[in-house]
Amino acid sequence: MEPDEWGGEVPVAFIEGLAAVGKLRGFRVERCAAPQRRRIVAVTADGRTLRSRCIDERGLRRVVLVLNEYTRRLSKVLVEGEPRG
């Protein structure tokens, strides 16, 4: 399924999946119209901008932690190479 098929907003899990396989260049958090709701705005490795559906702030904290972990871990592997056993 392509992001356009979701009406311009993608599930947060889609963005997490891209981060897990190293296809995410970066992300930021953006306010939604609904109170106490936020969204992730992510830039993919090929330069596309994706916006997640709005989620509550508790869920957002978990997502940000996961995305930070993936991007930090993968950037270290990209710079230093594969860890040796």
Q: Give domain status of residue 12, yes or no.
A: yes
pLDDT at 39 over 90: yes
C-alpha to C-alpha distance for 8 and 2, rounded to whole angstroms: 10
pLDDT attached to residue 4: 57
Comparing 43 with 71, the larger pLDDT belongs to: 43
Q: Give domain status of residue 33, yes or no.
A: yes
pLDDT at 50 over 70: yes
pLDDT attached to residue 70: 85
Q: Give the total number of structural domains in the chain.
A: 1
**What string of DSSP letters covers 27-63?**
EEEEE-SSTTEEEEEEEETTS-EEEEPPEEHHHHHHH
User: Which CATH number characterizes residue 56's domain?
Assistant: 2.40.50
